[in-house]
Amino acid sequence: MQSEQVFNKAWELLKERKFQACEVIDTDSRLAEMQIDAGDISLMRTTLDRSVSIRALRDHRYASIAMNQVTDSSIESAVEALDVAAQNAPVDEARVCIGPEVGGVDSLKHGPQREELEPMYHRMQEFLTTAKKDFPDLKLEQSGLTFRSRTSRRINSSGLTVSEQSGEYQVMAMFSSKRGEKTSSFNYTGVSLSRLERPLIEMGAVRRLLESSVRELDHAPLKGKFVGRVIVAPECVLPFLFGGILGHLGDSRVIAGTSRLADQVGERVLSREITLRADVEDESFAERELFTSDGYRARSTTLFENGVLKSLLLSEYGARKSNRPRGFNGGSNLVLEPGAHSLDQMIAQVERGILVGRFSGGDPAANGDISGVAKNSYLIENGKVVGPISEAMLSGNLFTMMNSVFGLSKEVLDDGSSRMPYVGVDQVTVSGVD
Amino acid sequence: MLRFSDLRAVISKPGDHYLECRFQENRDLRIGFLNGQLVTNLQSSKSGVSARSFSSGYWGFSSAVAPTQAALKEVAQEALKNASFLGSRGKKMASLQKLRDDRVSFSRSYLSNKPRVAVSTWIEYLKSIDQMIAAKYPNLKSRSVSLMSLDMERVVRTTDGVEVHTVVPRAHLAIALTLQSEVGPVALRDVRGGLGEPQDLFPLADSELEQWIEKVGEGVLRKANGVLPKAGVADVILAPDLAGILAHEAVGHTTEADLVLGGSVAGDLLGKPVASPLVSLVDYAHTYNGEPAPQPVHVDDEGVLAEDTPIIDRGILTTFMHSRETAAQFDQKATGHARAFLFSDEPLIRMRNTAILPGQSEIEEMIGSIEHGYFLTNPGNGQADTTGEFMFAVGAGYEIENGKLSRPLRDATISGVAFDMLKSVTMVSKDFAWESSGYCGKKQPMPVGMGGPAIKCRLSLGGQ
């Protein structure tokens, strides 16, 4: 059954039940994957999937359902379930439409549509051979090269039809190192690619992190406790520093009234060094946000400029609900403006601190408090990296840290969907063993 | 929905190569209220067919959406083709452990005997809970009440002749409250539920519901006036809900054979003391103390009859958790750990119901034994490491001063090196509790059970 048939059938049935708006998103996806396990290629996997979501609105009552079996009877059952859900949904004056109120036709394509198995196998074998030769102590765990493509059609009752076709490769490496009885902490890295033109080990941070994994075999427990500076590696900047902060820009916290940033657009809320953009229109990214969750074409925006909050990340519904402007994207393809100093120059500014490779911690508290373990990290003393550490905990408040930025590197990591420099922050409690 | 007869049409007799075929359906229900508004009301179903083949030491896997014999035949051929693609280009010495019993034909459903309750009724129930919370705690910044249920149904047949059909449901109710404090918003979340459909577990008796709301409400009020723990190493009592996540994160993951092959520190410690003699840890297959465990597995996705896996026996590391391939490699017993989350996923080595066994002490006695330390409860997310280092988030607790509970805590994170921490265990309580609402993350998520008593040990806290 084609997407238009799914929509037409669902809409006919919904109209009979007095629904006023409906939207169907129908996505076919394909995956081809070669996986490494215990240091060798072990599995080849190809999958086809389909998912259909139907959203509907009746008298300001909203309902949604998702399924992957698409038949006449499954659509009928779905409509029945939507009817019951809408009967029980609250009247929400902010629910006035589904997706854009004005119809139209839009279509975007990005990236390859089909995998090439022979180049995939060649690059995987090359990766394994090079990794084993250059890093004999390395242990590759569940790593692999995956190709994903998706074709999605969104049709709604306002006359909107949006088609999206996208595809990309992704290399994912998960690894640790072992020599005798010494083991290093596991680490992982991923890069999104449009083409397989270069060896996988040279992409993104792959080689740097494999090298570091071997060095980390000589980790020593951190001793003592101090409040000081940490330099966060680019691959850790988004999950550690920005993950909790960006949550304060979205629907969930803004609607619940627990956002610290909802009323601060136009005000400086982070250090002046921070300029963060969502560059969704940059075609050089292998993986891009093409359309927002509402079906609008995604537009690039600046989220923070010199520390000033410029934009929230609200959906159509979140915007109406909170009486604030809609976001033009979902906060993807983030680019943090780099600084003027090299990483070595930043390290030279640290009397005692940590270079953090990976952060393993709980979700930040609602007020931004965060604590967790510094993994794949190094001790810095008197402006020099001393050596790899273990058993080091970091605690602090994300907002305090991001208002205490002492530097951004000129080196930038491009992982195919974002670009981040090293970020140096102050006011972090670092504690080790007694 | 496919049946054994459909799978027999695809696998009618043993072939040259190992092949397993599977039909699987995951059915999800989520209902959520936020500040009195219904914000989530989602039912979804993901189903399809898959096949996995083992040939020349390599695996091939394929899946498709259509639940038909024709689609199953196609994915079986594709899986064989994928394995051959790798086999024709490489050499690998790998084999599968023979099954102890290849005449297994097993069917079991844990679906409810009670009539299914309409979604509208659950919505009304959650609304009533929300209203009770709002009435009792009108000054909250936000409140959420949610119901989550997941049924996993699978039909499997392998070329060894094994057939399995199981349906395992789980359902949970969660309350999360946020209060504005002098240091900003503080939140507390608590969950109830386990094996079964929602109508098996809910509604809660009125008195139980009132007590639960009070537990979470008073908890967040205390937390709003709470302190951060002092950063550093301390003596702690981990409440039973935390011991389970400890068993899973700190120990379980390091003893999964694929992580052992990936360099886990447990690889060098088989047969050696890794914990205090007070500590025994088992990954239960389907039954604990005569009752079904939260995630019962009777036969895994490779056709292995599931047995309990005793990982630590009175402090000694005794075995790893295996698939058929790693069991052959290590020459240990496969006890049924290979599971896949969706129809489109391949089976991986997964934990099932991992628990530290209860001991002899009373919790009050354990608290009384600590001069300066902490009592910790309410686990959040956690993570393990090949080095044995672990961490997990802790949502609530108290300082212990001179053997008594003292100031309440705000959020904390604890970490340690698993086997060092387990060797520091000096008391284990008689109590036991299962926790089963979360998902274990690896390449795929997976529902798991985690259980334990309260334990006294020494570990690191993140704080001030």
HEC letters along chain A: CCHHHHHHHHHHHHHHCCCCEEEEEEEEEEEEEEEEECCEEEEEEEEEEEEEEEEEEECCEEEEEEECCCCHHHHHHHHHHHHHHHHHCCCCCCCCCCCCCCCEEEEEEECCCCCCHHHHHHHHHHHHHHHHHHCCCEEECCEEEEEEEEEEEEEECCCEEEEEEEEEEEEEEEEEEEECCEECCCEEEEEEECCCCCCHHHCCCHHHHHHHHHHHHHCEECECEEEEEEEECHHHHHHHHHHHHHHHHEHHHHHHCCCCCCCCCCCECCCCCCCEEECCCCCCCCCCCCECCCCCECCCEEEEECCEECCCECCHHHHHHHCCCCCCCCCCCEEECCCCECHHHHHCCCCEEEEECEEEECCCCCCCEEEEEEECEEEEECCEEEEEEECCEEEEEHHHHHCCEEEEEEEEEECCCCEEEEEEEEEEEEECEC
Q: pLDDT at position B92, please?
A: 87
- Chain B CB contacts of A129 under 8 Å are none
B96 close contact with A: CB closer than 8 A? no
- Chain B CB contacts of A58 under 8 Å are none
For chain B, give the percent of residues with pLDDT over 70.
99
Q: Which of A31, A371, A391 sits opposite B412 (nearest CB)?
A: A371
State the pTM of this model: 0.91
| The two three-digit tokens of residue A424, written as one number | 């140096």
What's the rounded Cα separation, in Å, for the pair B235 and B58? 48
A376-385, B49-58, B380-389, range with the lowest pLDDT: B380-389
Q: Smallest CA–CA separation between B134 and chain A, in Å?
A: 14
- Chain A CB contacts of B265 under 8 Å are 183
What is the DSSP secondary structure assignment for residue B344, as one 8-state letter?
Answer: T
B207 close contact with A: CB closer than 8 A? no
**Other C-beta atoms within 10 Å of B3: how many?**
11
H/E stretch holding B125 reads helix B119-136
- What residues contact residue A258 under an 8 Å CB cut-off, 6+ apart? A366, B141, B142, B178, B185
Mutate to test the interface with B, among A25, A41, A68, A354 (most CBs of B within 10 A): A68
CB spacing of B119 vs A88 below 8 angstroms:
yes
CB spacing of A69 vs B141 below 8 angstroms:
no
- What residues contact residue B95 under an 8 Å CB cut-off, 6+ apart? B57, B325, B328
Q: Smallest CA–CA separation between A318 and chain B, in Å?
A: 11
Nearest partner of B213 among B121, B120, B143, B148, judged by Cα: B143
- Whether A340 shows a pLDDT value over 70: the answer reads yes
Q: pLDDT at position B1, please?
A: 85
- Whether B312 shows a pLDDT value over 90: the answer reads yes
What's the rounded Cα separation, in Å, for the pair B362 and B431? 8
Q: pLDDT at position A384, please?
A: 97
- Chain A CB contacts of B258 under 8 Å are 37-38, 141-142
CB spacing of B142 vs A40 below 8 angstroms:
no
- Chain A CB contacts of B462 under 8 Å are 361, 371-373, 393-395, 429, 431
B70 close contact with A: CB closer than 8 A? no
Q: Which of B78, B381, B394 sits opposite A46 (nearest CB)?
A: B78
Using one digit for the tens of pLDDT, what is the confidence trace for B411-449?
A: 888 888 889 999 999 999 999 999 999 899 888 999 999
Q: Smallest CA–CA separation between B308 and chain A, in Å?
A: 25
CB spacing of A45 vs B60 below 8 angstroms:
yes
What's the rounded Cα separation, in Å, for the pair A414 and A323? 36
- By CA distance, what is B37's nearest residue in A? A90
Query: Would you place residue A434 in the very low, low, confident or very high pLDDT band (cuts 50, 70, 90)?
Result: low
Using one digit for the tens of pLDDT, what is the confidence trace for A267-278?
A: 999 999 999 999
Using one digit for the tens of pLDDT, what is the confidence trace for B238-285?
A: 999 998 888 898 899 999 999 999 888 899 999 999 999 999 999 999
Q: pLDDT at position B156, please?
A: 97
Determine how β-strand B58-64 pairs with β-strand A40-58.
parallel
CA of residue A229 relative to chain centroid, distance: 26
Query: Would you place residue B199 in the very low, low, confident or very high pLDDT band (cuts 50, 70, 90)?
Result: very high
Q: pLDDT at position A406, please?
A: 96
CB spacing of B124 vs A92 below 8 angstroms:
no
- By CA distance, what is B420's nearest residue in A? A391
Q: pLDDT at position B38, please?
A: 86
- Chain B CB contacts of A51 under 8 Å are 46
- By CA distance, what is A178's nearest residue in B? B263
Query: Would you place residue B146 in the very low, low, confident or very high pLDDT band (cuts 50, 70, 90)?
Result: very high
Mean pLDDT score of chain A:
94
**If you average pLDDT over residues A42-65, what whole number do you get?**
94
**If you average pLDDT over residues A104-117, what whole number do you get?**
94
List helix spans (H) across B360-417: 363-368
With 0-12 / 13-18 / 19 or more C-beta atoms within 10 angstroms meaning exposed / middle / buried, residue B414 is buried
**If you average pLDDT over residues A68-83, what whole number do you get?**
93
Using one digit for the tens of pLDDT, what is the confidence trace for B74-126?
A: 999 999 999 999 999 988 888 999 888 767 899 999 999 999 998 889 999 99
**If you average pLDDT over residues A229-255, what whole number do you get?**
94
Q: How many residues are given for chain B? A: 464
The ipTM is: 0.89
B88 close contact with A: CB closer than 8 A? no
- By CA distance, what is A217's nearest residue in B? B387
CB spacing of B48 vs A49 below 8 angstroms:
yes
Q: Smallest CA–CA separation between B376 and chain A, in Å?
A: 15
**If you average pLDDT over residues A352-360, what whole number do you get?**
95
Mutate to test the interface with A, among B28, B31, B34, B39 (most CBs of A within 10 A): B39
Three-state DSSP at B230 gives coil
Q: Smallest CA–CA separation between A360 and chain B, in Å?
A: 7
| The two three-digit tokens of residue A160, written as one number | 């909107």
Query: Would you place residue A230 in the very low, low, confident or very high pLDDT band (cuts 50, 70, 90)?
Result: very high
The residue with greater pLDDT, B448 or B461, is B448
Q: pLDDT at position B443, please?
A: 87
What's the rounded Cα separation, in Å, for the pair A199 and A205? 13
Query: Would you place residue A99 in the very low, low, confident or very high pLDDT band (cuts 50, 70, 90)?
Result: confident
- Whether B464 shows a pLDDT value over 70: the answer reads no
Three-state DSSP at B357 gives coil
Tell which B residues from 130 to 189 touch A, by Cβ distance under 8 Å: 141-142, 144, 178, 181, 183-187
- Whether B384 shows a pLDDT value over 90: the answer reads no
Looking at chain B, the number of H-run helices and the number of E-run strands are: 10, 26
- Chain A CB contacts of B47 under 8 Å are 68-69
Q: Which single residue is written with the structure tokens 């989602």?
A: B42
- Whether A374 shows a pLDDT value over 90: the answer reads yes
Q: pLDDT at position A100, please?
A: 82
Q: Which of A142, A184, A372 sits opposite B443 (nearest CB)?
A: A142
For chain B, give the percent of residues with pLDDT over 90.
77
Q: How many CB pairs under 8 A join A and B?
A: 255
Q: pLDDT at position B65, please?
A: 94
What is the amino acid identity at position B424? S
